[in-house]
Amino acid sequence: MQVICLEGDSLIPINAPQIGEEEIKAVVKVMKSGVLTHGLGAGPMVTKFEKKFAKFVKAKHAIAVNTGTSALHLTITGTGIKHGHEVILPSFTFVSTAEVIAMAGAKPVFVDINPETYNISPRKIEKAITKKTKAIMTVDLYGLPADMQPIREIADKHALTIVEDSCQAHGASYKRRPPGAFADAACWSFYASKNMTTGEGGMITTNDDELAEKMRFMRSHGEKEKYQSLILGHNYHMPEIQAAIGCIQLKKLPKFSAKRRENAKRLSTKLRKTENLQLPKEPRGYKHSWYLYTVRLKDAKRKKRDKTVETLKQKGIGAQVYYATPIHLMPYYRKFGKHRLQETEKAAEQVFSLPVHPGVTAKQIDFIGESVLHAVA
């Protein structure tokens, strides 16, 4: 089977922001208003965006911040994680998940994943709990929620806090409930590649009144009123321009999600023709956001996977590997102890992701599918 690049097409990126005239007009309106930010981080557009996002994910509170990493850090410190504490989390994720734990002075304790979903294994969590454990950090990797009900039961049994990293899960659900429903707080990213974007930006959602109030103070130097710091804080304000973009993007998110789902379904139909790949799963009771469509080259070593990705790139397909180096194997994080995470390390050698974002056409999906079949044949 011979596959050639689509004539006249450039690289099909792994993700691409879907920005239109509405977002541009919203930004111009903010700039003309002269209100670009707010001293306590709660300007009119930020407040509007928070209310709309809280409603969308069925949460009582939403706190907008400047990045997804800020959302994670604010939540970890806001829930009282500090030096001497341990937080259990997966290693198969972006580094910020562990980074914020280390920034708080606590110890990240890495555990293995479910090889079918790539999310943290509830069974492994319970085995890692010690007297120093104070929280569990779950990750909704690639847009598929973690198995939150048993994790909530474990947390309740041991009086632990759950922070859900939902930075890739806009529009996803678990047992018909949005991310965050089983956690003490959920954290979201609006980075340019995400299912909806504000360029940079983040959000924390929670149903805990006390925690929400505390994090609002911490977002703005610990202030309830200007120049009156009650607690230690940061400057994690979301600018008004970002919030204006967010309001428009949130309105478009259902259509974005539907297109991602359509593209993922079409690509799966194509790729079922080979037995060499493990295709992404959407277990019963889960709804995937399809932030990343991630396949696994079965029984392959890293070299073969990397060669496959390079072949696809040469054909104009922006295939990428998330994540080639698990966090526990990164130089800085080795100091937190040796971990042998068999499923994590095996997945890191075999997975790669393919474009299914709303900008990818049906013709391009078919081309991606045929190219992958040829590359792994």
353 and 219 in a common domain: no
pLDDT of res. 300: 85
220 and 141 in a common domain: yes
167 and 264 in a common domain: no
pTM of the model: 0.94
213 and 192 in a common domain: yes
pLDDT of res. 4: 39
Q: Give Cα separations from 110 to 93, 100, 144, 152, 264 (angstroms).
A: 11, 14, 20, 18, 30
User: What is the CB-side half-sphere exposure of residue 261 using CA atoms within 13 A?
Assistant: 15
Q: Contact 172/193 with Cβ under 8 angstroms? A: no
**165 falls within a domain:** yes
**15 falls within a domain:** no
213 and 302 in a common domain: no
Instruction: Spell out the alpha helix ranges (H) of the chain.
Output: 21-33, 44-56, 68-78, 96-103, 122-128, 148-157, 209-219, 240-271, 302-314, 342-350, 362-376
**293 falls within a domain:** yes
149 and 40 in a common domain: yes
**16 falls within a domain:** no
The torsion angles phi and psi of 334, rounded to 5 degrees, stand at -65, -25
CATH code (residue 167)? 3.40.640.10
pLDDT of res. 113: 98
The Cα 324–Cα 351 span in angstroms is 8
- The pLDDT tens digits along the chain (377 residues) read 333 344 445 699 999 999 999 999 999 999 999 999 998 889 999 999 999 999 999 999 999 999 999 999 999 999 999 999 999 999 999 999 999 999 999 999 999 999 999 999 999 999 999 999 999 999 999 999 999 999 999 999 999 999 999 999 999 999 999 999 999 999 999 999 999 999 999 999 999 999 999 999 999 999 998 899 999 999 999 999 999 999 999 999 999 999 999 999 999 999 999 999 999 999 999 999 999 999 999 988 999 999 999 999 999 999 999 999 999 999 999 999 988 999 999 999 999 999 999 999 999 999 999 999 999 98
Domain boundary among 197, 221, 248: 248
**13 falls within a domain:** no
The Cα 62–Cα 207 span in angstroms is 9
Give the residue numbers spanning the domain of 167. 21-248
**351 falls within a domain:** yes
pLDDT of res. 8: 41
Counting the structural domains of the chain, the total is: 2
234 and 86 in a common domain: yes
Q: Which token pair is 306?
A: 């990397």
324 and 298 in a common domain: yes
Domain boundary among 192, 225, 248: 248
279 and 155 in a common domain: no
289 and 164 in a common domain: no
pLDDT of res. 31: 95
261 and 243 in a common domain: no
**110 falls within a domain:** yes
231 and 297 in a common domain: no
The Cα 203–Cα 43 span in angstroms is 15
